[in-house]
Amino acid sequence: MAELHVELVAADRKVWSGKASLVVARTSSGEIGIMPGHQPLLGVLASGPVTIRTTGEGADGAAGKNGTVIAAVHGGFISFTDNKLSLLTEIAELSYEIDVERAERALENAKAEQDAAAERRADVRLRAVAVAH
């Protein structure tokens, strides 16, 4: 099975690293799927869930159901060359790290305060958890 090496890195830490058969992410141009052998790519990541279909455990053992890792990503860049995919983000959280009740409260507060950026961040967190389950 063909594989690509994936690095998901936030400003403050390496979030996930491992082998995958498919990565789906949202870019400023729309949703994109990257598989082994994809054309070289450099793009801007939009906020949204990232789905990584693993071919084994990542460096941190975070493979979820059916070998899938889901992360909430809040902006950044995506780069692919030589079967190496880098997702460089400002903030990234694996779905199992997200406190759902806290994210729901943050969404309610953001709506009440009409804070679009905070509302978007909370919504992305909740979507990542929903995709993971």
Q: What is the rounded average pLDDT for all residues in the chain?
A: 89
Quick: pLDDT tens for 50-70. Answer: 999 998 655 455 554 458 999
pLDDT value at position 49? 95
Which residue carries 């996930």 as its tokens? 16
pTM, two decimal places: 0.84
**For residue 109, is pLDDT > 90?**
no
In the predicted model, is pLDDT for residue 87 greater than 90? yes
Report the pLDDT value the prediction gives residue 74, as an integer from 0 to 100. 92
> Which residue would you say has higher pLDDT here, 127 or 5?
5
Lookup: tokens for 126: 């909740």
**% residues pLDDT > 70 (the chain):** 91
Q: Give the pLDDT score at 63.
A: 53
pLDDT digits (tens, 9 = 90+) for 31-43: 999 999 999 999 9
What is the chain written as a DSSP string? ---EEEEEEETTEEEEEEEEEEEEEEETTEEEEE-TTPPPEEEEEPSEEEEEEESS--TT----GGGEEEEEEEEEEEEEETTEEEEEEEEEEEGGG--HHHHHHHHHHHHHTT-HHHHHHHHHHHHHHHHH-
Query: What mean pLDDT do residues 76-95 have?
Result: 96
Over range 21-30, report the average pLDDT.
Answer: 95
Whole-number pLDDT of residue 65: 46
